């Protein structure tokens, strides 16, 4: 999209560094035969970890960091102002929502981001990819790794 500044910036960065447009990498044949394994956490446990991590960030001073960013008068469109939780903490600091609501919304946004990452990896690896949860048994992991050696 012509309005997607981060994607445009990424495409221009790749072009500048490599001399090739970003699309040429997707169209190129694979350099080697490869197989992928995605070690993914169970969604329920991942979401619980996301919630706990945001709570820990609040305890470690995320609100003070958001306050400092707001004090600088930065453009809300800048990446730093759009970081996970930053818009909601800013809304809290402006008195628009309470801290509990800011945390709830930030955690929800981060869970949605994680869900998009699951979808992305599934599309990147295609239908034959092996998805193992982090809680997978050693036997399953060993079997999956053995498949990597098969033609």
State pLDDT tens for residues 86-135. 999 999 999 999 999 999 999 999 999 999 998 888 887 776 666 666 56
Q: How is the chain split into domains, by residue range?
A: 1-31, 32-148
What pLDDT score does 150 carry? 65
Between CA 122 and CA 117 the distance in angstroms is 9
* Contact (Cβ atoms closer than 8 angstroms) between residue 50 and residue 113: no
Q: Over the chain, what is the mean pLDDT?
A: 85
Q: Per CATH, which fold does 32-148 belong to? A: Helix Hairpins (1.10.287)
Between CA 51 and CA 55 the distance in angstroms is 6
Between CA 151 and CA 26 the distance in angstroms is 24
């Amino acid at each position: 999209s012509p309005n997607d500044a981060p994607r445009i910036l990424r495409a221009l960065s790749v072009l500048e560094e490599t001399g090739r447009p970003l699309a040429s990498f997707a169209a190129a044949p694979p350099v080697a035969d490869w197989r992928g394994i995605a070690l993914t956490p169970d969604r329920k446990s991942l979401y619980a970890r996301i919630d706990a991590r945001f709570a820990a960030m609040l305890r470690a001073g995320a609100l003070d960091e958001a306050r400092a960013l707001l004090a600088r008068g930065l453009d809300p469109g800048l990446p730093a102002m759009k970081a996970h939780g930053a818009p909601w903490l800013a809304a809290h600091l402006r008195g628009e929502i309470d801290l509990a609501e800011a945390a709830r919304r930030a955690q929800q946004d981060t869970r949605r981001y994680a869900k998009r990452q699951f979808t992305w990896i599934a599309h990147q690896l295609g239908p034959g990819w092996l998805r193992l949860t982090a809680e997978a048994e050693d036997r399953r992991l060993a079997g999956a790794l053995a498949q990597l050696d098969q033609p």
